[in-house]
Amino acid sequence: MKPPSCPFTQPVLGSVLRLLLLIGLFTAMTEGTPLQAKPIEYFMQPGAPNLHLVEVGIAFTPKTGGGTVDFAIPAWRPGRYQIQNYARNVQQFAAVDEKGTSLRWEKIDKNTWRVTAPKNGAIQVTYKVYANTLDAGSTLLNDEEFYWNGTNVLMYVGGQKNSPTRLTLKVPGHWKVATGLKPGPDVNVFEAPDYDTLADAPGIASPTLDITPFEVEGVPYYLVFQGQLVYQGRPIPKNQIIINLKKAVGEALKIFGPAPYPNYWFLFHSVPDGRFHGVEHLNSTSITVPSSAFSNPATLFRFYSIAVHEFFHAWNVKRIHPQVLGPFDYSREVYTRNLWVAEGITSYYDDLLCKRAAIFDQKAYLALVASSINSLQSAPGRKVTPVSEASFDEWLTPDDARNVETDFYTKGALLGFLLDMEVRQRTENRKSLDDVMRYLNETYAKKGIGYPEDGVQKALEAVSGSSFSEFFSKYVYGVEELPYNTAVHVAGLEVVEVKLTDRAEATLGITLTGDERQAVISNVVPHEAGSLAGLDKGDIFLAIDGKQTTAGNLNEVLRSYKPGDKALVHVFRRGMLREFPVTFQGGGNLSYDVRAVSSPTLMQKQVLAAWLNEAGQ
Ligand SMILES: [Zn+2]
């Protein structure tokens, strides 16, 4: 319990008083709007950029005086299903009444501040948030910008998540602001019908923000860049990006119909040495990209993939979502076995829409599908953890993740691919996964409700008119290997095994890390050669048959052996030299390729054309 006379430092008290003045003005402004309840007022003001502290204020007037009111900050954010505990960055919490008299408060759990309400009038809460991380889901304040994600910064009022909200951003007048929030009655004032909407619209405020509007089917879109706009003398190719995004947006609208949002914001940070990272929101996406992304074809593909991925989420997960993913319980983990749908099927559609929009050609697209197959088939966890359980347990990170985890992005994307082929096969190309997504949109999203845990299987069955129970039991709830070839035949494709000439066929089933002088075993795959021989994670790897072996030359050393050959491996374990006889296994040079069959039937040609929008190009 904190005493009413909190030991504020003078600068903090100063900012509180400034805030009070501001909130006082808002309170006056909101009077005379009888059609809606008085919004909960939020206020954000960047402090000294090198201290990275954002000042936040909330004014809330309880319906009845007295009692207590809880203010809580989310423990996680939609889009990342892991506990983040944003309360860790909250400091200098204070609460006052309208006269500026301190109110008693106490923390009742890690995320929640309980304030004793005054007999009448508003509770005015202030706190600061340390904001010094730049990724797609973070909040950053530095000398170039203020970038926020609401879940990181804005507390919700207990029992009031459905109340209307208004956010005032106090930034210098010459700064530009980009956010999907609805503009309010004044400059840098925004409104949202409830906390979920407020928190689901990140924003960037900066003097250097680059905003380019464009339009698709009468709806405004905004391409926004913050950060490095020129890389090695070449500016970001905004015109080309807009041409391609327009086509990809058009392909999504072909599936779902008119846009369900009034406008849409692509918020990019171009970061030197940055990484691709995106998060989806109701009518926006926040994405970080390396500044070099536009300089080579592979990373350019990645740029479009991630942009279209986050955009497709505007339907799949933001509107078509499992029941627990909206409205959200931000205080704790929420469980669903459908993240493979939310993320994986979105991953299936990101590259597919890029292909349909002719951003990629067929060859490039099929290479990406093959790359997903190779990625899944080389992951030991696919044999251990069903994708449904990987979804459910996304909140946990096993110590042995590399051997037990199933990546629901990759496996979910491949399931999307196989389900698409399966529906086309069963309906003789009259229906597809597009129809299933449309069915989910009409049946649940447009009614504002989430789908039940078995909703996707039911949707597949409704669209195709046949049972998917065996498919789900084997490949979603089970760990059977995916039947690529049975599925892809309908589109005149085949998944073929190819032997890579630069890769050794013999395998040890271990991963080495380290430099050219010393290697350490960083992973041992169960039931493979190294594991059967007794090698262990952490062993300092010395030699195979006396030949020094490191991460850099392991492949080269293994090329001297065939599957079934025996060798002696030497390692140091806890300071002692140890010797292990191993018997190599095979398959190290195996890779998968997706190809068109040489003489496709008319039906196969039609499926391929419909699936990849070949006819439309
Ligand atoms: Zn995603």
pLDDT single digits (tens) 420-442: 999 999 999 999 999 999 999 99
Cα(38) to centroid of ligand 1, in Å?
Answer: 35
- Choice among 19-23, 79-83, 226-230, 354-358 with the minimum mean pLDDT: 19-23
Q: How far is the CA of 606 from the centre of ligand 1 (A)?
A: 30
105-144: pLDDT as tens digits: 999 999 999 999 999 999 999 999 999 999 999 999 999 9
pTM over cut 0.85: yes
- Quick one: fold of 343-491+603-617? Neutral Protease; domain 2 (1.10.390)
Q: With b meaning 16 or more CB within 10 Å and e meaning fewer, what string describes 57-80?
A: bbbbbbeeeeebbbbbbbbbbbbe
Using DSSP's 3-state secondary structure scheme, residue 593 falls into: strand
Task: For residue 149, report the distance from its CA to the centre of ligand 1, in Å.
Answer: 16
Question: Could you give the C-alpha distances from 81 to 77, 261, 342, 523, in angstroms and in order?
Answer: 7, 24, 12, 25
Q: How far is the CA of 182 from the centre of ligand 1 (A)?
A: 24
Query: Who contacts 93 (Cβ-Cβ below 8 Å, separation ≥6)?
Result: 105, 113, 125, 126, 127
Q: Are 105 and 93 in contact (CB under 8 A)?
A: yes
- Report the alpha-carbon distance of residue 364 to residue 374 in Å, rounded: 15
Is the CB of residue 431 less than 8 Å from the CB of residue 468?
A: no
Exposed/middle/buried for 476, CB within 10 Å: 0-12, 13-18, 19+? buried
Computed over every residue of the chain, the mean pLDDT equals 94
Helices (H), 473-576: 484-488, 529-533, 554-558
C-alpha to C-alpha distance for 556 and 552, rounded to whole angstroms? 8
Q: What pLDDT does 65 receive?
A: 85
At the fourth CATH level, which superfamily is domain 209-314?
A: Neutral Protease Domain 2 (1.10.390.10)
What is the CA(266)–ligand 1 centre distance, in A?
Answer: 14
- Label residue 613 exposed, middle or buried (CB < 10 Å: 0-12, 13-18, 19+): middle
Query: 371: CA distance to ligand 1 center in Å?
Result: 18
Q: How far is the CA of 220 from the centre of ligand 1 (A)?
A: 23
Q: If you measure from the C-alpha of residue 80 to the centroid of ligand 1, how many angstroms do you get, rounded to a whole number?
A: 9
Per-residue confidence at 25, pLDDT binned at 50, 70, 90? Answer: very low
Q: How far apart are CA 122 and CA 27, in angstroms?
A: 9
Structure tokens at 504: 């050794």
pLDDT digits (tens, 9 = 90+) for 404-418: 999 999 999 999 999
- Cα separation of 438 and 201, whole Å? 25
* Tokens linked to 232: 């090695």
Cα(347) to centroid(ligand 1), Å: 7
- Give me the architecture of the 510-588 domain, per CATH: Roll (2.30)
Measured CA to CA, the distance from residue 483 to residue 418 in angstroms comes to 8
Comparing 17 with 560, which gets the higher pLDDT?
560
Within the chain, which residue ranges are assigned CATH 1.10.390.10? Answer: 209-314, 343-491+603-617
Q: How many CB atoms lie within 10 A of CB 134?
A: 18
Instruction: Give distance in angstroms: CA of 159 to centre of ligand 1.
Output: 29
Q: Give distance in angstroms: CA of 279 to centre of ligand 1.
A: 7
Average pLDDT over residues 24-41: 52
Tokens of 424: 């086309």
Q: How many residues does the chain have?
A: 617
Phi and psi angles of residue 552, each rounded to the nearest 5 degrees, phi first: -70, -30
Dump the DSSP string for 64-125: SSSSEEEEE--SSBTTB-S---GGGGEEEEEEE-TT--B--EEEEETTEEEEEPPSSS-EEE
The ranges of the chain annotated as CATH 2.60.40.3650 are 10-206
Task: Convert 25-69 into a string of H (helix), E (strand) and C (coil).
Answer: HHHHHHCCCCCCCCCEEEEEEECCCCCCEEEEEEEECCCCCCCEE
- Nearest alpha-carbon partner for 319 in 255, 266, 260: 260
Instruction: Tell me the CA–centroid distance for residue 343 and ligand 1, in Å.
Output: 5
Fold of 10-206: Immunoglobulin-like (2.60.40)
